[in-house]
């Protein structure tokens, strides 16, 4: 690992310079990586590893024709590199358990007997292990239990890889039976195309991930967008104006400046009026939402968020209720305005 100064706090991280792809290939040369689940992370991680020369196979339910057909369309060959879950586990030495959290709880009882001594059980989220008393996912003592958790969706993991970039990932070792668990995890992190790897624990990954998704990454972001849009509409601004000032300018301009050189650089490259107002209002927003984030973190650590996820996501009608919730969002005025605004971007013009 190399030491990097993160604003006065020194962390040890793994970069692709010190742990090269060639080194990862060497570490994994005798492994068969079985990726279970071709839904969110499965396609990206398996395709990236395949492109990087790692010996990869995919395990997927034949009872899910959409995912099975997608795997076939991506070049996985039934009977050669594409199998049902159990056979993939029998063939693999590293088992990437990338089905959904709820599906892990459901499938674990019939899959756990297919783990072999010395296998590595790999996760991209610590959920099932940390809350094993609720999920029932308790690995045997004779396997490695490791994690590489990309800090982005599967779509981003694949897109960044194809663009020659990478999504940063955390990694952790929960159980080291072989003495090679850390090497296996690091090699896999490089093989899936991570930008750099930073160490964590299964517990810390779960607590930060659940907080982030419910907070600034998705829940809080969507919530504050709705709040601002509604205020502007209430005061007579058109849907186009309200959406552009709330979402379009953020996603198409400002966030790209933050991404390039940081928040202060974005401020420095905006108007003086914007700078002054943003700096004045920043602490008010921070202090207003801090109690909400405290409540959120407590709900995550206590297991309440886990209870909600497992109960709702395993319900027979979950997919129907989810579709209804997303339909409500999609058909709201704000996001209908968003669809219209996106259609007017220059790249969508004809002629």
CATH number for the domain spanning 39: value is: 3.40.50.720
Among residues 175, 200, 225, the one where a domain terminates is 200
Same domain membership, residue 308 and residue 278:
yes
Tell me, yes or no, whether 231 lies in a domain: yes
Residue 302 to residue 296: CA distance in whole angstroms: 10
pLDDT at residue 281 above 60? yes
Q: List alpha helices for 60-135, DSSP H.
A: 65-73, 85-91, 101-111, 127-130, 132-135
Q: Are 67 and 60 contacting, i.e. CB atoms less than 8 angstroms apart?
A: yes
Same domain membership, residue 218 and residue 186:
no
Question: Which residue from 130, 258, 252, 137 is spatially nearest to 200, judged by alpha carbons?
Answer: 130
Exposed (0-12), middle (13-18) or buried (19+): which is 165, by Cβ within 10 Å? exposed
Q: Which residues are catalytic?
A: 125
Same domain membership, residue 187 and residue 301:
no
pLDDT at residue 349 above 90? no
CATH number for 315: 1.10.1040.10
Mean local confidence (pLDDT), 325-345: 94
Residue 126 to residue 209: CA distance in whole angstroms: 9
Tell me, yes or no, whether 136 lies in a domain: yes
- What predicted TM-score, i.e. pTM, was given to this entire model? 0.87
Same domain membership, residue 96 and residue 26:
yes
Same domain membership, residue 257 and residue 232:
yes
CA distances from 114 to 58, 89, 110, 166, 313 (A): 15, 6, 8, 33, 25
pLDDT at residue 348 above 80? no
Tell me, yes or no, whether 206 lies in a domain: no
pLDDT of residue 102: 83
Domain of 64 in residue numbering reads as 2-200
Tell me, yes or no, whether 205 lies in a domain: no
Helix (H, G, I), strand (E, B) or coil at 53: coil
Same domain membership, residue 181 and residue 311:
no
Tokens in use for 287? 């202090």
Residue 6 pLDDT grade (very low, low, confident, very high; cuts 50, 70, 90): confident
pLDDT digits over 169-198, tens only?
999 999 999 999 999 999 999 999 998 999
Residue 13: in which H helix or E strand, if any?
A: strand 9-15
Number of domains into which the chain is organized? 2
Helix (H, G, I), strand (E, B) or coil at 153: coil
Tokens in use for 37? 């689940």
């Amino acid at each position: 690992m190399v030491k990097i100064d993160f604003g006065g706090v020194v962390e040890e991280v793994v970069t692709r310079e010190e742990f090269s792809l060639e080194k990862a290939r060497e570490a994994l040369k005798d492994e068969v990586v079985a990726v279970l689940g071709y839904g969110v992370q499965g396609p990206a991680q398996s395709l990236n590893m395949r492109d990087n020369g790692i010996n990869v196979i995919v395990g997927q339910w034949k009872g899910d024709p959409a995912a099975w057909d997608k795997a076939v369309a991506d070049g996985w060959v039934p009977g050669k590199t594409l199998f049902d879950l159990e056979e993939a586990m029998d063939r693999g030495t590293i088992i990437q358990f990338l089905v959904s959290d709820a599906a892990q709880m459901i499938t674990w009882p019939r899959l756990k007997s297919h783990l072999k001594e010395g296998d590595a059980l790999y996760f991209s989220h610590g959920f099932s292990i940390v809350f094993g008393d609720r999920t029932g996912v308790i690995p045997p003592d004779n396997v490695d239990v490791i994690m590489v958790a990309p800090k982005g969706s599967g779509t981003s993991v694949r897109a960044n890889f194809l663009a020659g970039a990478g999504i940063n990932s955390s990694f952790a070792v929960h159980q080291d039976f072989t003495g090679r668990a850390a090497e296996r995890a690091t090699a896999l992190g490089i093989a899936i195309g991570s930008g750099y790897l930073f160490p964590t624990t299964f517990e810390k990954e779960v607590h930060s991930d659940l907080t982030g998704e419910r907070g600034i990454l998705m829940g809080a972001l969507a919530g504050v967008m709705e709040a601002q849009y509604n205020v502007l509409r209430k005061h007579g601004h058109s849907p186009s104006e309200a959406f552009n000032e709330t979402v379009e300018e953020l996603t198409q301009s400002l966030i790209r400046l933050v991404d390039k050189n940081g928040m202060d650089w974005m401020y420095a490259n905006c108007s003086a009026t914007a700078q002054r107002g943003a700096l004045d209002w920043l602490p008010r927003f921070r202090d207003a939402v801090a109690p909400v984030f405290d409540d959120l973190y407590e709900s995550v650590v206590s297991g309440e968020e886990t209870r909600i996820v497992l109960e709702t996501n395993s319900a027979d009608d979950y997919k129907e209720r989810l579709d209804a919730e997303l339909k409500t969002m999609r058909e709201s005025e704000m996001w209908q305005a968003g669809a219209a605004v996106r259609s007017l971007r220059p790249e969508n013009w004809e002629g």
